């Protein structure tokens, strides 16, 4: 970002007699990360951001915003008074987006959106100046922040969009006005707030509400909830998936412990390699490849970009236990789709010893929780997993289902406050040749177990 403070006033449609000659090179809302050249927006979170203006000034910001219903003390640096800080933040973002005028790729989905965003950005960076959402800054604060912090020479902006209520993605899409909208998949994440997968699909489809007239819609063509709704979309549609009716589908998939490779129908002789485990990541890559093709990246360049991929948030991580056992850690996020995907991927990996799974509650599933926890039983059996450890009230439903398959000493349930007991049992049971999966929603805090094992 690069603006004079005078231009910021103009963008916000605020008329004043004189404006100090100050360069604004970025925006921030976290005073701890404030630096020289920043314009500080005191956004309201758990606390009022105005409480941290002093800290932002101490850390070197060049100007601040104040909301007019707050008393404005004497301060040494310039400030802009606005009626609503959040609205001003979004207004400035829309202005700056129009000024830079990059191609915008918007990405959402119940799973895989951060990985897909990183894949798209890597592919497009082979022949464009690309900016992307940092980490998973994908809400009403994260999207304008992403826009305002892109360099002035950005040619393509890749924006991740998340949601936890209807209308949210429509609003985020209105800020970004994407040229390409991508939906990775429809799962059960946040079903507590939406009730059904149909309603989740309706909410995700809001990403095309503000798609440019000549834009493109990229989505999972294997998902009936999307193919049905896509019929109403007038813009060009590009689909990916496993079925051969899709625009792009994978062939010759080869799964490894920490890599996966595949070929596609469009370039039968070109192999794509991803430094990540799991067939579910093939679909994320296919979505990214379709975006790359739409923006004229050569297939060989796309293959190299994916092979060299560095992802923002690779939650599924291979670690070594103190005793030498392999641990597949995914302790910060879980939902039925993601849990099934990692279980199925683990089945296909060759390991020297036993495979052991530790599963904690999957949260935010509402009235469907019991059924969705029970559904994991179809993917867990004694042939593939020698022992199963379950944690949390919701996992009682899965234990009841698995009681029919497992002996008592191979299927153990723990209350969520019994992590010490779980840790002790794992330390006694797990051998150096074993492979252990740890997966749960963050609220179960399996990271505390993980920290004792590695």
The answer to whether residues 219 and 229 touch, using CB atoms and an 8 Å cutoff, is: no
All residues at 6 or more sequence positions from 133 whose CB lies less than 8 Å from its CB, including other chains: 117, 142, 143, 146, 158, 159, 160
Task: Determine the Cα–Cα distance for residues 67 and 41; give it in Å rounded to an integer.
Answer: 9
User: In DSSP terms, which residues pair with 167 in a beta bridge?
Assistant: none
Q: Please tell me whether residue 291 adopts helix, strand or coil conformation.
A: helix
Q: Is 114 known as a binding-site position?
A: yes
Q: How far apart are CA 318 and CA 417, in angstroms?
A: 26
107 within 8 A of 160, measured Cβ to Cβ: yes
Residue found by looking up tokens 């606390």 in the block: 47
What pairs with residue 103 in β-bridges? 156
Measured distance CA(250)–CA(242) in Å, rounded: 6
Q: Is 324 left (phi over 0), alpha (psi -120 to 50) or beta?
A: left
Q: Which two tokens stand for residue 284?
A: 């994320």
200 close to 110: Cβ distance less than 8 angstroms? yes
Q: What's the Cα-to-Cα distance from 11 to each of 1, 40, 50, 128, rounded to whole Å?
A: 14, 16, 22, 27
Any binding-site annotation on 110?
yes
Q: Is 347 annotated for ligand binding?
A: no
Q: Which of 313, 293, 294 is nearest to 302 (CA)?
A: 293
Taking the C-alpha atoms of residue 441 and residue 454, their distance in angstroms, rounded to an integer, is 20
Q: How many CB atoms lie within 10 A of CB 11?
A: 18
- Our CA dihedral for 44, 86, 136, 370, rounded to 10 degrees, sits at 70
- Reduced DSSP (H G I as helix, E B as strand, rest coil) percent helix, strand, coil of the chain, to 5: 40, 20, 40
Q: Which helix (H) or strand (E) holds 438?
A: strand 435-439
3-state secondary structure 205-274: HHHHCCCCCCCEEEEECCCHHHHHHHCCCCCEEEEEECCCCCCEEEEEEEECCCCEEEEECCCCCCCEEE
Residue list for the binding site for ATP: 109-115
Q: Which residues are annotated as a binding site?
A: 109-115
């Amino acid at each position: 970002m690069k603006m004079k403070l005078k231009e910021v006033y103009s963008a916000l449609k605020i008329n004043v007699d004189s404006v100090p000659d100050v360069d604004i090179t970025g925006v921030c809302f976290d005073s701890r990360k404030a630096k020289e050249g920043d314009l500080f927006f005191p956004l309201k979170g758990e606390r009022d951001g105005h409480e941290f203006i002093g800290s932002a000034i101490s850390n070197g910001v060049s100007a601040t915003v104040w909301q007019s219903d707050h008393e404005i003390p004497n301060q040494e640096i310039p400030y802009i008074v606005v009626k609503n800080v959040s609205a001003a933040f979004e207004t400035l973002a829309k202005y700056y987006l129009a000024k830079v005028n990059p191609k915008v790729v918007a990405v959402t989905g119940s799973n895989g959106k951060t990985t897909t965003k990183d894949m798209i950005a890597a592919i497009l960076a082979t022949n464009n100046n690309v900016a992307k959402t940092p980490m998973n800054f994908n809400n009403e604060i994260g999207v304008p922040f992403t826009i305002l912090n892109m360099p002035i020479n950005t040619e393509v902006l890749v924006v991740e969009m998340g949601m936890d209520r209807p209308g949210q993605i429509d609003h985020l899409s209105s800020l970004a006005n994407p040229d390409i909208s991508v939906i990775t998949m429809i799962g059960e994440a946040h079903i507590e707030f939406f009730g059904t997968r149909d309603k989740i699909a309706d909410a995700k489809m809001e990403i095309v509400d503000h798609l440019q007239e000549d834009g493109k819609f990229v989505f999972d063509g294997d998902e009936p909830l999307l193919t049905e709704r896509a019929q109403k979309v007038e813009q060009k549609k590009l689909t990916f998936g496993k079925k051969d009716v899709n625009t792009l589908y994978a062939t010759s998939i080869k799964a490894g412990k920490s890599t996966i490779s595949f070929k596609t129908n469009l370039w039968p002789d070109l192999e794509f390699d991803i430094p990540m485990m799991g067939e579910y990541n093939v679909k994320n890559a296919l979505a990214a490849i379709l975006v790359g093709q739409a923006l004229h990246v050569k297939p060989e360049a796309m293959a190299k970009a994916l092979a060299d991929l560095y992802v923002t948030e690779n939650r599924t991580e291979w670690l070594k236990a103190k005793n030498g056992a392999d641990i597949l850690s995914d302790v910060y996020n879980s939902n039925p789709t993601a849990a099934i995907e990692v279980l199925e991927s683990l089945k296909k990996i060759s390991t020297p010893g036993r495979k052991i799974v530790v599963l904690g509650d999957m949260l935010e599933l509402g009235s469907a929780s019991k059924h969705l926890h029970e559904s994991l039983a179809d993917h867990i059996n004694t042939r593939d997993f020698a022992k199963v450890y379950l944690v949390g009230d919701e996992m009682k439903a899965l234990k009841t289902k698995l009681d029919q398959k497992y002996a008592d000493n191979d299927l153990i349930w723990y209350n969520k406050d019994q992590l010490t007991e779980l840790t002790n049992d794992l330390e006694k049971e797990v051998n150096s040749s074993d492979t252990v999966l740890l997966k749960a929603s963050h609220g179960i805090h399996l990271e505390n177990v993980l920290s004792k094992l590695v």
